[in-house]
């Protein structure tokens, strides 16, 4: 039904040498050789783009930032507007990962404009998808729900499994966050099947995490933990540092809902170390919130928890995460009423 997943961010000769499931150590080694041997600005731009994406997914923000900017400059010298669009997409995605959402929107909007100007359909779609995800993680569903649906239709029309999984999982997450858990589970389950059929290990890992989340909300803790263990194996195999950290954070969520607070503290603490190590502001704040809630349930002094909640509320407001900020407000109300 769908073609095999592919990675258009690996371009030119790199596209033949690497796949969507290449480990990031392999990507780094291959791209470093390609950049060292590059005879043209175009070749260097493509190598730097691959370096940017590998470093970003490994949580090396400074290296990723330097690489996407190098890619942009080289593409500009080569007169390659499509390459400039891809570099801006990479930079915007990194900015979102680091919690600087206004910068993410600016870079991704510029990527859309560059891709549109040169007719680069894939870069255009990836940049639009990035804008949609930025709005979704902020909780601005009204603004991005239609965009998710449009992107899904485009992906289905072209048989692009990786983007189908991305759009479907985004729609599923919105259903989950608005209380439509049955529909969310159906969509996440469909994502797992499509990703498996397309040999998209990354998409499968993310979708398994979504399934685990929804199953946990329904009380099926054992199945949720099994799915997270399955997803963790994929993350470790492909060295998906960010996905692994979010997997550990979700494990904390599942354990917290099951009132297994000591285990939840352990999971959140692991995720927190991982997020801090990769300078991932959004994940760091979410892991801190989970840890604060778990410690409160284990008997931490309410005053200390309230002080941390106030700090986290400011951080969520700074980043622009509406739903997370609402979670802080709700938990504070529980503490005050207790």
Judge if pTM exceeds 0.75. Answer: yes
**Cα–Cα dist 186/258, whole Å:** 23
**Cα–Cα dist 176/34, whole Å:** 43
SS3 76: helix
**Cα–Cα dist 299/45, whole Å:** 54
Of 213, 206, 179, 212, residue with least CA distance to 192: 206
pLDDT at 50 (0 to 100): 95
> In the chain, how long is the greatest CA-to-CA distance?
68
φ, ψ (nearest 5 deg) of residue 299: 105, 15
Mean pLDDT, consecutive 10-residue segments, the chain of 338 residues?
Answer: 76 87 89 94 96 90 96 97 97 92 94 95 89 86 83 84 87 91 96 92 94 98 98 91 94 98 98 92 95 96 95 92 90 87
């Amino acid at each position: 039904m769908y073609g095999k997943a592919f990675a258009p961010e690996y371009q030119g000769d790199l596209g033949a040498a690497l796949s969507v499931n290449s480990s990031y150590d392999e990507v780094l080694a291959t791209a470093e050789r390609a950049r060292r041997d590059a005879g043209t600005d175009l070749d260097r731009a493509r190598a730097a783009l691959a370096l940017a994406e590998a470093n970003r997914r490994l949580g090396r923000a400074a290296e990723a930032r330097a690489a996407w900017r190098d890619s942009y400059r080289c593409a500009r010298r080569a007169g390659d507007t499509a390459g400039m669009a891809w570099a801006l997409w990479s930079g915007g995605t990194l900015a979102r990962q680091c919690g600087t959402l206004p910068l993410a929107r600016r870079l991704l909007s510029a990527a859309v404009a560059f891709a549109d100007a040169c007719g680069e359909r894939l870069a255009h779609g990836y940049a639009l998808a990035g804008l949609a995800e930025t709005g979704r993680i902020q909780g601005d569903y009204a603004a991005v729900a239609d965009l998710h649906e449009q992107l899904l239709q485009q992906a289905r029309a072209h048989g692009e499994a990786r983007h189908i999984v991305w759009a479907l999982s985004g729609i599923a997450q919105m259903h989950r966050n608005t209380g439509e858990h049955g529909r969310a589970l159906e969509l996440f389950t469909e994502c797992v099947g499509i990703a498996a059929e397309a040999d998209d290990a990354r998409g499968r890992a993310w979708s398994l995490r979504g399934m685990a989340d929804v199953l946990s909300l329904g009380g099926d803790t054992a199945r949720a933990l099994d799915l997270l263990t399955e997803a963790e194996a994929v993350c470790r195999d492909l060295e998906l540092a960010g996905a692994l950290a979010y997997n550990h954070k979700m494990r904390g969520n599942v354990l917290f809902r099951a009132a297994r607070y000591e285990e939840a503290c352990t999971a959140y603490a692991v995720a927190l170390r991982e997020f801090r190590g990769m300078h991932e502001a959004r994940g760091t704040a979410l892991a801190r919130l989970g840890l604060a809630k778990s410690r409160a349930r284990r008997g931490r002094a309410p005053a200390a928890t309230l002080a941390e909640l106030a700090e986290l509320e400011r951080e969520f407001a700074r980043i622009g995460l509406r739903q997370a900020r609402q979670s802080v407000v709700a938990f504070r109300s529980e503490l005050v009423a207790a």
